[in-house]
Amino acid sequence: RYTLDVNKTRVVVHYGDAAGARNAAATLCAAVVEKAGRLVCGCVSVDDWPDSDYRGFMIDFARKYIPVEEVKRQLRLMAAFRYNVVHFHLLDTEHYALDSKAVPALSRNPIFLNYSLAEMREIGAFANALGLQLIPEIDLPGHGLMLLEKMPELACEDKNGNPPSIWDACVCNELLYETLDKLITELEEVCLLYTSPSPR
């Protein structure tokens, strides 16, 4: 929560935590307009607080490569509009967005650029600095077409002799959990540093 009072002589902001300070700054910036070649802010009084714990936005890295600077631009816009959560969609039918060292099979012959682990750390740190909680996500066991093309040993066996599904990884296959454990451990080192809930 924060309060913002602007009069002819001063700007006064009260806030309870870093998120309140960020939101107050975003509101103040939004109130500034250009008039006669000068930046001015009208007199205003604001008493504001989040309407929900989760005010989020998803960035789909799995279906399109987005240049790092463009990702940062989107994150800045999120902060300006007082979002508090960013959801990183990293694995889907088409692609795994990271250049994985833990499961290198996922990074062979990508359909478009992967993010290096260093780039994803940079993006995560940038989101965190803007007060955004980061939620990384890998879409399994469904949407597993690309995963099963790269690692067919994760497909299900059919006792009736039918071919295995090309879409779903086998939840009865212990190797799936070993693979997930490697991916999640890698994400802990890359993204999960920045997933603690942002202060309100």
Q: pLDDT tens digits, residue range 27-46? A: 898 888 999 999 888 888 99
Per-residue b/e over 151-169, b at no fewer than 16 CB within 10 Å?
beebbbeeeeeeeebeebb
What pLDDT band is residue 199 in, cutting at 50, 70 and 90?
A: very low
Residue 87 structure tokens: 């959801």
Distance CA 31, CA 54 (A): 25
pLDDT at 62 over 80: yes
Judged against a pLDDT cut of 90, whether residue 195 lies above it is answered with: no
What span, in angstroms and rounded, lies between the C-alpha atoms of 28 and 1?
14
> Which pLDDT tens digit goes with each residue over 89-98?
999 999 999 9
- For the entire predicted model, the pTM comes to 0.82
> Given pLDDT bands bounded at 50, 70 and 90, which one contains residue 200?
very low
Residue 196 has a pLDDT of 56
- What is the rounded CA–CA span in Å between residue 88 and residue 116? 15
Is 100's pLDDT higher than 90?
yes
Q: How confident is the model at residue 1 (pLDDT cuts 50, 70, 90)?
A: confident
What letter does residue 164 receive in the DSSP assignment? P
Q: What is the pLDDT of residues 107-144, one digit of tens each?
A: 999 999 999 999 999 999 999 899 898 899 998 888 88
Per-residue pLDDT for 197 more than 60? Answer: no
- Contacting residues for 181 by C-beta, under 8 A, at least 6 apart: none
- Burial class of residue 106 (count of CB atoms within 10 Å of its CB; 0-12, 13-18, 19+): buried
Model confidence at 17, pLDDT cuts 50, 70, 90, reads: confident
Measured CA distances, 105 to 89, 120, 166 (Å): 19, 19, 17
Instruction: List, in order, residues 6 or more apart from 47 with CB less than 8 Å away.
Output: 1, 3
Q: Any idea which residue has 């009072």 for tokens?
A: 5
Q: CB–CB of 23/31 below 8 Å?
A: no
Rounded Cα gap, residues 136 and 159, in angstroms: 35
